[in-house]
């Protein structure tokens, strides 16, 4: 019995100590929670003024009320952003409450877009691009345009002379499909049938699709390979226009040169102009690397690269326009004079835009 009583007393003592220890642990946890809450409240109170001011500035900018901000607020914006970003870093390290962290993360993200984000919308950029930025970039490559144009003319002449001296060159310069009737020896009637009477065809013909895809590839490659001092760009221009020269020779032999020119001009004035710009853009980059002048090579290449990239953005638009003209206008128009008028009008439009339209894009701000 004495042993039993001793064990009971020991159990009561252990239970009392366990409850005491548990109470102390709970009290410690409550104290830690209270301390953390106090620290979070103190942290917020010390910095909340800057947070609220930054939020007010950002909210006005987001609502399009930038002009209502004072000069002091605009000058304080980057400073407040760095202050709040620092607060967010401290809050993460000290494991403050989730609500404070979420608030600071959202505020920092919103402020970042206003301090470091894009300065203009897509519509504004497009308006400035078409309102003078693209044409000014093209004019900035004047020397390269002249060189590229001379190379394209020379390539056309070379293609003509090669097939005139040996018609076997035609299949080399113009590797068409096995069913293509545009080959040396074709009669006038056969060649003429490829130029007229195609109004009922839907979409692009196989030949038109070949020309478009081929010229688009030439334009992209002529720009992309410009870093090799522009030499590959010039070689691509020669190769592409030699194909054109070979086709001009073929139709000229049957007295259809003017009709072919009209057939090509509907989309060709736009498409060939785009290739000219792409080749000049590639040459512009290569010339900036080979002849940097007083600038360091990297800086010269970067400057010319930015201008060339602007031009290439417009080349993409020109190729889209050319594809639409090739797929619809050329199919619907069946008279050579009208085709020449459309092609000539497009050429005049592009030349006028690039060389006569000199509006400063900065005026659109």
Top-confidence residue, 32 or 69: 69
Q: Report the first-to-last Cα separation within the chain, whole angstroms.
A: 100
Looking at the domain assignment, is residue 165 inside a domain? yes
> For 191-204, what is each residue's pLDDT tens digit?
888 888 665 554 44
Residues 194, 262, single domain; the answer is: yes
Distances (CA, A) of 303 to 144, 162, 284, 292: 15, 39, 10, 10
How far is 76 from 56, CA to CA, in rounded Å? 12
Q: What is the pLDDT of residues 256-265, one digit of tens each?
A: 999 999 998 9
Q: What pLDDT is recorded for position 95? A: 64
- In this structure, the answer to whether residues 172 and 296 fall within a common structural domain is yes
- Report pLDDT digits (tens) over 79-111: 888 888 888 888 777 766 777 788 888 888 888
- pLDDT, tens only, 126-147: 888 888 889 999 999 999 999 9
Tally of domains in the chain: 2
In this prediction, residue 25 carries a pLDDT of: 57
Contact 338, 260 (CB under 8 A): no
Write down the pLDDT at residue 94: 73
* 128-to-96, 124, 307 alpha-carbon distances in Å: 46, 6, 14
Are 104 and 194 in a shared domain?
no
What is the pLDDT, as a whole number, of residue 8?
A: 60
User: Residue 175: inside a domain, yes or no?
Assistant: yes
Is there a single domain that holds both residue 136 and residue 254?
yes
Question: Given this model, what pLDDT does residue 342 score?
Answer: 93
> Which of 54, 84, 115 marks a domain boundary?
115
Q: Which of 63, 84, 115 is the last residue of a domain?
A: 115
Confidence of residue 177 (pLDDT cuts 50, 70, 90): low
Claim to verify: residue 111 and residue 138 sit in the same structural domain: no
Question: Based on the domain organization, do 236 and 262 belong to the same domain?
Answer: yes
* Better-scored residue on pLDDT, 29 or 55: 55
Residue 11 lies in a domain: no
152 and 285 in a single domain? The answer is yes
Mean per-residue pLDDT for 54-70? Answer: 83
Q: Is position 131 within any domain?
A: yes
Q: What percent of the chain has pLDDT over 70?
A: 79
Q: Quick one: 342 and 291 in the same domain?
A: yes
Does the pLDDT value for residue 151 go beyond 60? yes
Residue carrying the six token digits 């004072």: 70
pLDDT at 60: 86
In a domain, 103, yes or no: yes
Domain limits for position 76: 20-115
- Domain boundary, last residue among 115, 150, 171: 115
Q: What is the pLDDT of residue 76?
A: 85
* Cα separation, 263 vs 266, whole angstroms: 6
Helix (H, G, I), strand (E, B) or coil at 327: helix
Residue 45 domain-assigned (yes or no): yes
Look at residue 7 and tell me if it is in a domain: no
Same domain, 111 and 127: no
**50 shares its domain with 154:** no
Q: How far apart are CA 78 and CA 10, in angstroms?
A: 68
Asked if 41 and 65 sit in the same domain, the reply is yes
What pLDDT shows up at residue 33?
A: 46
Which of the listed ranges 15-29, 33-47, 85-99 does the model predict with the highest average pLDDT? 85-99
* Residue 202 pLDDT: 46
What pLDDT is attached to residue 64? 74
pLDDT interval class at 276 (50, 70, 90): very high
pLDDT at residue 47 in the model: 81
- The verdict on residue 2 lying in a domain is no
Inform me whether the pLDDT recorded for 322 exceeds 80.
yes
Mean pLDDT value across the chain: 81
Tell me, yes or no, whether 231 and 329 share the same domain: yes
Nearest to 266 by CA among 202, 317, 340, 194: 340
């Amino acid at each position: 019995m004495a042993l039993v009583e001793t064990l009971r007393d020991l159990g009561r003592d252990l239970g009392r100590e366990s409850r005491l220890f548990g109470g102390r642990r709970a009290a410690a946890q409550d104290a830690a929670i209270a301390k953390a809450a106090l620290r979070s409240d103190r942290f917020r109170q010390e910095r909340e003024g800057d947070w609220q001011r930054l939020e007010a500035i950002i909210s006005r900018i987001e609502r399009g009320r930038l002009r209502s901000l004072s000069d002091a607020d605009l000058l304080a914006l980057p400073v407040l952003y760095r202050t709040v970003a620092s607060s967010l870093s401290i809050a993460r390290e000290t494991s403050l409450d989730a609500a404070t962290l979420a608030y600071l993360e959202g505020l920092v993200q919103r402020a970042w877009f206003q301090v470091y984000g894009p300065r203009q919308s897509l519509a504004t950029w497009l308006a400035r691009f078409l309102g003078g930025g693209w044409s000014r970039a093209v004019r900035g490559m004047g020397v390269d345009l002249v060189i590229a144009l001379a190379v394209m003319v020379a390539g056309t002449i070379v293609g003509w002379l090669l097939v005139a001296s040996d018609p076997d060159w035609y299949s080399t310069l113009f590797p068409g499909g096995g069913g293509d009737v545009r080959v040396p020896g074709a009669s006038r009637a056969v060649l003429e049938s490829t130029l007229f009477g195609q109004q009922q065809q839907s979409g692009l013909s196989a030949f038109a699709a070949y020309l478009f895809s081929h010229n688009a590839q030439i334009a992209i490659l002529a720009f992309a390979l410009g870093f090799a001092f522009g030499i590959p760009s010039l070689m691509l221009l020669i190769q592409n226009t030699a194909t054109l020269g070979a086709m001009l020779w073929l139709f000229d032999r049957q007295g259809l040169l003017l009709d072919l020119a009209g057939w090509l001009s509907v989309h060709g004035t736009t498409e060939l102009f785009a290739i000219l710009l792409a080749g000049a853009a590639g040459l512009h980059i290569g010339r900036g690397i080979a002849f940097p002048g007083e600038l360091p090579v990297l800086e010269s290449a970067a400057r010319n690269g930015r201008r060339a990239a602007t031009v290439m953005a417009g080349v993409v638009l020109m190729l889209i326009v050319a594809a639409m003209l090739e797929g619809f206008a050329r199919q619907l128009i069946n008279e050579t004079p009208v085709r020449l008028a459309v092609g000539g009008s497009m050429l005049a439009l592009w030349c006028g835009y690039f060389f006569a339209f000199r509006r400063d894009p900065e005026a659109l701000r």
